[in-house]
């Protein structure tokens, strides 16, 4: 029995499903999750001493690659000063100033501890600001696991074939309306029915939790126009795209201004953190300035701030990283696309910048319904082939492949070679 198998067995006795986040359990691909001991650059090493080329990157934050010295050193420095104070620190101010400086339209930002918390708080702020109750989300978009947003969610919810979560009351979701990603008419229909009741539309500007689904031409612009016309707020969930597609995230990449933006792990360079922010006028509803309550002892934690400041500083001072990241993404994903074509594989490749994935369906994937046509058993076979050859992919058809600045051309060539040999057989 391998160390990972042994640990998974032990974990399954004391942790639900043996994991602390469901996708990691390998349920949709079968087999044993690798228990990780360390990671460096584009590689991770497991308990059995096996090293893998990693395309998960902690689900996004490892833009610079794992264990970047510039981030690690700042974290260690901060640890020497104390781990948590429950009182304000200069690092929080610096972090907020940096986010406001780098993100278009960002005037005020509140730190929280995860993307789930950021979304939950942004929705409350939108409701408080507009005095309206309804929220529009898109089927297949995942915005964390807070009650009101667990309707037709992506990520692990989609993987298990579970449309919604048990334990969420009807009351919690009665003001959540689900629309079809990339289909503006489905959003117009909601506004026709509830012209004065929608507080906000929340969207992943590039959907990356039903696999990667890029926004169709005009989709994000259309959402912006509808929100402006009906007095609703546009919330971009940039937990995955923020500081990845560009320093200003999807807003900068697509040239669309949202009213509120949410962030998660990505702004902490791997530490547990999240944030939400936007125009001062909107953020002024947050307590203690305004009546919308939201709080947290670990919010703005000094170690998380140190990691975040270090990573954002590196990104800000080296804009070339984005050119490299997007070039590597382009090289990998156009390479995969060519292989799929060359081998007549019944698969589709979607990508934007350094995010992408193969869907095991020959049809174009543009939303939740088309993503669900994927042959997940076939994906499982591909996944295990790659894992057996030491390439670590997200263990689900509906998760993205993340390229980091630490991936080299050789890493990508090696990956393409393996993909070619899988699909050529
Ligand atoms: N929700 C993440 C995927 N979109 C998975 C988180 C994890 O397992 O760490």
What are the backbone angles phi and psi of residue 154, rounded to the nearest 5°? -90, -155
Report, as an integer, the average pLDDT of 199-205. 98
Ligand 1 centre to CA of 270 (Å) is 13
Residue 156 reports pLDDT greater than 90: no
- What is the DSSP secondary structure assignment for residue 6, as one 8-state letter? H
Q: Among all chains, which residue has been given the structure tokens 């500083």?
A: 313
Report, as an integer, the average pLDDT of 413-423. 98
Q: With bands split at pLDDT 50, 70 and 90, how would you rate the model's confidence at 160?
A: low
Q: Among all chains, which residue has been given the structure tokens 């104070």?
A: 85
| CA dist., res. 220 & res. 375, Å (int) | 29
| CA dist., res. 109 & res. 62, Å (int) | 22
Q: Among 15, 156, 402, say which to mutate for ligand 1: greatest number of ligand atoms within 8 Å of CB.
A: 156
Q: Name the residue with the closest Cα to ligand 1, atom 7.
A: 21
pLDDT in tens, 91-125: 999 999 999 999 999 999 999 999 999 999 999 99
Residue 161 reports pLDDT greater than 70: no
193 lines ligand 1 (CB under 6 A): no
Active site residue 322: no
Q: For the sheet containing 274-278, what is the strand order?
A: 108-112, 274-278, 260-263, 233-237, 198-203, 134-138, 176-179
Instruction: Catalytic residue, from 134, 265, 322, 411: name it.
Output: 265
pLDDT in tens, 11-27: 999 999 999 999 999 99
Active site residue 46: no
Residue 146 reports pLDDT greater than 70: yes
Active site residue 320: no
- Cα–Cα nearest to 378, from 330, 411, 425, 329: 425
24 lines ligand 1 (CB under 6 A): yes
Which is higher by pLDDT, 281 or 163? 281
Residue 43 reports pLDDT greater than 70: yes
Percent of the chain with pLDDT over 90: 92
155 lines ligand 1 (CB under 6 A): yes
Could you tell me the pTM of the whole model? 0.96
Report, as an integer, the average pLDDT of 190-206. 97
Determine the pLDDT at residue 159. Answer: 60
Determine the pLDDT at residue 391. Answer: 98
Cβ–Cβ < 8 Å for 311, 71: yes
pLDDT in tens, 121-137: 999 999 999 999 999 99
Residue 162 reports pLDDT greater than 60: no
What are the backbone angles phi and psi of residue 200, rounded to the nearest 5°? -160, 155
Q: How many CB atoms lie within 10 A of CB 326?
A: 18
Determine the pLDDT at residue 364. Answer: 98
């Amino acid at each position: 029995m391998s160390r990972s198998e042994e640990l998974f067995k032990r974990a399954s006795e004391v942790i639900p499903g043996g994991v602390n986040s469901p996708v990691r359990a390998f349920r949709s691909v079968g087999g044993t999750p690798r228990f990780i001991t360390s990671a460096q650059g584009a590689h991770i090493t497991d308990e059995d001493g096996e090293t893998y080329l990693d395309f998960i990157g902690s689900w996004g934050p490892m833009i610079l690659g794992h264990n970047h010295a510039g981030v690690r050193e700042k974290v260690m420095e901060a640890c020497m000063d104390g781990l948590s104070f429950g009182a304000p620190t200069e690092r929080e101010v610096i972090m907020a100033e940096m986010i406001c400086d780098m993100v278009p339209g960002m005037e005020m930002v509140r730190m929280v501890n995860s993307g789930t918390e950021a979304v939950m708080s942004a929705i409350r702020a939108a409701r408080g600001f507009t005095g309206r109750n309804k929220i529009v989300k898109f089927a297949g978009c995942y915005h964390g696991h807070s009650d009101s947003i667990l309707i037709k969610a992506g990520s692990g919810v989609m993987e298990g074939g579970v449309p919604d979560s048990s334990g969420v009351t009807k009351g919690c979701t009665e003001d959540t309306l689900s629309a079809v990603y990339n289909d503006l008419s489905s959003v117009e229909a909601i506004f026709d029915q509830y012209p004065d009741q929608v507080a906000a539309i929340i969207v992943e500007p590039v959907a990356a939790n039903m696999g990667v689904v890029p926004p169709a031409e005009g989709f994000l612009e259309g959402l912006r126009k509808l929100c402006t016309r009906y007095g609703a707020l546009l919330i971009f969930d940039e937990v995955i795209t923020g500081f990845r597609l560009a320093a200003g995230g999807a807003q900068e990449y697509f040239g669309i201004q949202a009213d509120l933006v949410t962030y998660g792990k990505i702004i902490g360079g791997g530490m547990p953190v999240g944030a939400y922010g936007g125009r001062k006028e909107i953020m002024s509803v947050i307590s203690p300035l305004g009546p919308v309550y939201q709080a947290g002892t670990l919010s703005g934690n000094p170690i998380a701030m140190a990691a975040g400041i270090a990573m954002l500083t590196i990104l800000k001072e080296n804009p070339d990283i984005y050119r490299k990241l997007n070039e590597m993404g382009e090289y990998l994903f156009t390479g995969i696309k060519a292989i799929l074509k060359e081998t007549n594989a019944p698969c589709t490749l979607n990508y934007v910048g350094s995010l992408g994935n193969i869907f095991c369906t020959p049809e174009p994937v543009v939303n939740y319904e088309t993503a669900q046509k994927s042959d997940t058993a076939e994906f499982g076979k591909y996944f295990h082939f790659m894992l057996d050859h030491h390439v670590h992919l997200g263990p689900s058809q509906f998760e993205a492949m993340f390229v980091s600045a630490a991936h080299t051309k050789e890493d990508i060539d090696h990956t393409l070679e393996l993909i070619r040999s899988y699909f050529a057989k």
